[in-house]
Each structure stands twice: as C-alpha cells, then as structure tokens.
Amino acid sequence: MGRFEGAEKVGIRDKETRQLLAVYPYKIDGTDEEIEKAVKDWYYKQSCIAEEFLLKSYVDELTEHELKSRKDDDTKKVY
C-alpha cells in the first residue's frame, strides 16, 4: 500500500514548520515515487526560488482541514 494511496490532494510541505507551501493542482496517479517526482517537478517550474524551498520540504497528503479550507481554491500562493 502506497503512502499516497487514497489521497485526494497532495502538496509541498515545509520540513521544519510543517506549513503547507503549495497544493498540487492535478490529479495524483502512479506510484509514490512517480507522484513525488511529478509534484516536485511542478513546484520547481512555479518559481525560480522554488529549488531552495524543495531542499527544505517534502510531498505530503493534505489534512482533512486543509482539504476543506482549499476545496474551491487550489491556486494558493506558491513560494
């Protein structure tokens, strides 16, 4: 069973603060490794400083609270 199996949405989360930095706007599909690569590649393309944030972040499933608060807005600020 994969880490992201059954996940509705995933995003990039800061390792230290666990703050959600960005929500991946596309459907997640594939193995955990494929999902992580797709999310990181997408995030990297969003901003020239994203590379620095990727070193201090990880791909994670959104919590139920985050899902509810972002249900209609997957375009939250990308750092």
Segment 25-44, tens digit of pLDDT: 999 999 999 999 999 999 99
CA distance 32 to 14: 18
Q: Residue 13 forms beta bridges with which residues?
A: 20, 58
| Domains held by the chain: number | 1
Residue 79 pLDDT level (bands cut at 50, 70, 90): very low
Residue 3 belongs to some domain of the structure: no
Residue at 24 is within a domain:
yes
In a domain? residue 13: yes
22: containing domain: 9-65
Q: Is 76 domain-assigned?
A: no
Residue 77 lies inside a defined structural domain of this protein: no
The predicted model scores a pTM of 0.80
- Choose among 57, 25, 56, 21: nearest CA to 38: 25
User: Does any domain span residue 15?
Assistant: yes
* Residue 58 in domain: yes
Q: Alpha-carbon distance 11 to 61, whole Å?
A: 6
Distances (CA, A) of 76 to 22, 33, 56, 58: 6, 24, 19, 17
Is residue 74 a part of any domain in this protein?
no
